[in-house]
Chain A
Amino acid sequence: MATDATLARRAGRGLSGVGGFVVVTALTFLGLLAITFFIGRVVPIDPVLSVVGDRATQAQYDAARIAMGLDRPLVVQFLDYVWSVAQGDLGKSISTNRPVADDLLRVFPATLEMATLGIFIGVVLGVPAGVWAATRRGEWVDQVMRVFALLGYSVPAFWLGLVGLAIFYAGLGWVAGPGRLDIFYEGLVPARTNVMLIDAALAGDWDVFWNALSHLVLPASILGFFSLAFIARMTRSFMLDQLGQEFITTARVKGVPEWRVIWVHGFKPIRVPLITVIGLSYAALLEGSVMIETVFSWPGIGNYLTTALLNADMNAVLGATLVIGSVFILINKISDVLYRVLDPRSR
């Protein structure tokens, strides 16, 4: 039985765990801000020019220089930058002429929609595939899965997107082409969440829903393929560790049916590490969507980022980098915490 002293110590450790977590997360965010600040203000030879463009007059140039506060010391500039980001001010985009934060809020749901369907495909197919490969170790299923997984590390996402369009859209006509909707479906449903499937379902307009789905399915499947490769490979290796344990042999000797051995005795312990893997691949999908969105003209954050890159729209580039980076850090930290909460051994 736990005495008061050990209980207090345990509570203290839990508290310092929470405190430590908050400090580490805050420091990581500060580091991210330092990097984007560095990229925006220190790396370019002339940060003013990268904001006003090369057709600005001298007066505009000087005004922008003062407005950006570039005449002040670097440390002051950095603190100022952190302060404005904390207030949700990411500057103005020169190509859309709107605050970057508003632009990002508008485009983010489109990315989220695609990445969520992608991770769904990756988990629903990847986990059983990994378990299957582990139970058939060394057989042809396992070999096929291995090559499949290595392909996931070697195929450029944008190339797969183009080939997918050529085959399934132009060749077979199974799916709709680039974009989120056919042009004559656009603007039919009110944009409440900016997630097209939810908006269409809320409006009860099923034609729009099916059209949106047929636009979504190809890019989401391609994204899903990359997470599938990773998830299946990790599931297989976790599962192999479990199936080699003695309690599995004991269960088999006792005559427990094989499906129960695999899915209950074997699979239960690996659920926790799998959550971390799924979290990581969800974050990776947000990154992968940059290339896929460019190929599919998908109006999400990746497309916004690459458009801004080509227009040398530095505020927009840094804003998008900051948002994707923050989501990345957040998902990482959340899966860390979940791991600690769910796995008694790590307490």
Chain B
Amino acid sequence: MSTRDWLLDDSPATLLQANLGRAWRMMTALLRNPLAVAGLLIILLLLATALFAPWIAPESPVGQNLQARLLPPSAEHWMGTDELGRDIFSRVVYGSRITLMIVALVAVISAPLGLIIGAVAGYFGGWVDRILMGLTDVFLSLPKLILALAFVAALGPGIENAIIAIAITAWPAYARIARAETLTFRNAEYIQAVRLVGGSHSRIIFRHVLPLCTSSMIVRVTLDMAGIILTAAGLGFLGLGAQPPLPEWGAMISRGRTFILDQWWVATMPGFAIILVSLGFCFLGDGLRDVLDPKQGGEK
């Protein structure tokens, strides 16, 4: 029996075989979608760039060379140099680490937070539900960027505070999804069964409810990544996110603003990096939605 047959076996013998088989089917479905593959490649490129930045970047991201100020793109400096003579390509390469850190931390903070709030609200219902969802709805009805700006204003500028502010604005959407999912199987028989054998509320929520919410959550988080990247870059652009000399893409665009009319490359190049990575997450999210969550697809 080949590995493929073993993976696609209709009656898997072990849990491991069933899980691997499911993962295999999703993988092949995802790889049939050209846009999703493009998105996946872009994300892999981002990961590789962040991981191997010191080997890819020809120069240091912070080393200044005032004799090479504001040079246009050339064979030596692919994306030109900025007002302190730093190689823009090297800075964009190192900037991928900051972007990756921001999206990863925002996802790690906001997704579990929203997941737990939504699952608790949906599972218990009644007043718990009303209070938690009221709070969620208030956050949802407010513009995200403005809310993040106000939080950063109160917390003070800086990349950690920017991450906290974005995470605070991102969790409500996840709480809504988790609640909706929880409601559909709250009264299912297998949940009743766990309750009958004496499973505690926290055991039911963490072991039996949350795992079922993860697939729609993964889709939503991936689709939200583009928005998170744009908000982070916006905060950087306003000088409220990453501080100099960190090579954050939004902050780099902000520095290039002064030179936009004569030395266009300083502000333009980091923008292409932002667009590429955001598009990558959009493509992948679209593809994942078609595979993991066909009912939400709506359009194809």
Contact surface of A with B, Cβ cutoff 8 Å: 27-28, 31-32, 34-36, 39-40, 43-44, 50, 150-151, 153-159, 162-163, 165-166, 170, 236-237, 240, 283-284, 286-287, 290-291, 294-295, 305-306, 308-310, 312, 314, 317-318, 320-321, 324-325, 328-329, 332
In the bound complex, CA of A324 to CA of B137 (Å): 17
CB of B155 within 8 Å of the partner chain: yes
Enumerate 27 A-B pairs (CB-CB under 8 Å) in ascending A order.
Answer: A28-B141, A32-B141, A34-B138, A39-B150, A39-B153, A43-B155, A150-B282, A153-B227, A153-B278, A155-B274, A155-B278, A156-B250, A158-B250, A166-B260, A170-B261, A236-B299, A287-B145, A290-B145, A291-B145, A291-B237, A295-B257, A305-B146, A305-B149, A309-B149, A314-B154, A318-B150, A321-B147
Q: Does B178 contact A (CB under 8 A)?
A: no
Given contacts A156-B233, A306-B238, contact A162 B253 (CB under 8 A): yes
Residues of A within 8 A of B144 (CB): 287
**Residue of A154, A157, A162, A318 with most chain B CB atoms under a 10 A cut-off:** A154
Asked whether B245 is an interface residue with its Cβ less than 8 Å from the other chain, the reply is: no
A159: contacting residue among B135, B153, B253, B279, CB under 8 A = B253
Q: Among the listed B134, B141, B268, B271, which residue makes an inter-chain contact with A329, where contact means beta carbons less than 8 Å apart?
A: B141
- B66 proximal to A (CB < 8 A): no
Q: Are B150 and A237 in contact, CB atoms less than 8 angstroms apart?
A: no
Q: Is B185 an interface residue (CB 8 A)?
A: no
| Bound Cα distance from A328 to B143, whole angstroms | 7
Please indicate the chain A residues that have their CB under 8 angstroms from the CB of B250 in the complex.
156, 158
Q: Which residues of the other chain, A, contact B137 by a CB distance below 8 angstroms?
A: 28, 31
Q: Once bound together, how far apart are the Cα atoms of A35 and B139, in whole Å?
A: 9
Minimum distance in angstroms from A273 CB to a CB of chain B = 12
Cβ contacts B272-300/A at 8 Å (1 or 0 each):
00110011001100100000000000110
Given A162-B253, A305-B149, answer yes or no on A43-B154 (Cβ-Cβ < 8 Å). Answer: yes
Closest to A169 in B: B261
CA distance in complex: A304, B99 (Å)? 28
CB distance from B26 to the nearest CB of A (A): 22
The B119-150 residues at the A interface (CB cut-off 8 A) are 134-135, 137-139, 141-147, 149-150
Contacts of B158 in A (CB 8 A): none
- Residue B118 at the A interface, CB < 8 A? no
B240: CB under 8 A from chain A? Answer: yes
Taken together as a complex, chains A and B put the C-alpha atoms of A92 and B154 apart, in Å, by 17
Residue of A nearest to B254 (CB): A158
* A166 touching B274 in the complex, CB below 8 Å, given contacts A151-B279, A237-B298: no
Contact partner of B138 (CB less than 8 A), chosen from A28, A162, A314, A321, is: A28
Nearest neighbor of A314 in chain B, beta-carbon distance: B153
A162 and B278 in contact (CB under 8 A), knowing A43-B154, A321-B147? no
The answer to whether the Cβ of B170 comes within 8 Å of any Cβ in the partner chain is no
When chains A and B are docked, how far (Å) is the Cα of A295 from the Cα of B260?
11
Partner of B279 from A154, A317, A329 at Cβ < 8 Å: A154
Q: Which of B222-279 contact A (CB under 8 A)?
A: 226-227, 230, 233-234, 237-240, 250, 253, 256-257, 260-261, 264, 267-268, 271, 274-275, 278-279
Residues on B with beta carbons closer than 8 Å to the beta carbon of A321: 146-147, 149-150
Residues on the A chain within 8 Å of B286, using CB: 150
Q: Are B146 and A290 in contact (CB under 8 A)?
A: yes
| CB-based contact A156/B271 at 8 Å | yes
CA distance A159 to B286 in the complex (A): 24
Query: How far is it, in angstroms, between the C-alpha of A151 and the C-alpha of B283 when the chains are bound?
Result: 11
* 19 further contact pairs, Cβ within 8 A, besides A32-B138, A156-B237: A32-B141, A36-B150, A39-B150, A39-B151, A43-B151, A150-B283, A155-B274, A159-B275, A163-B267, A165-B260, A287-B145, A294-B237, A295-B257, A309-B152, A317-B150, A317-B153, A318-B150, A320-B146, A321-B149
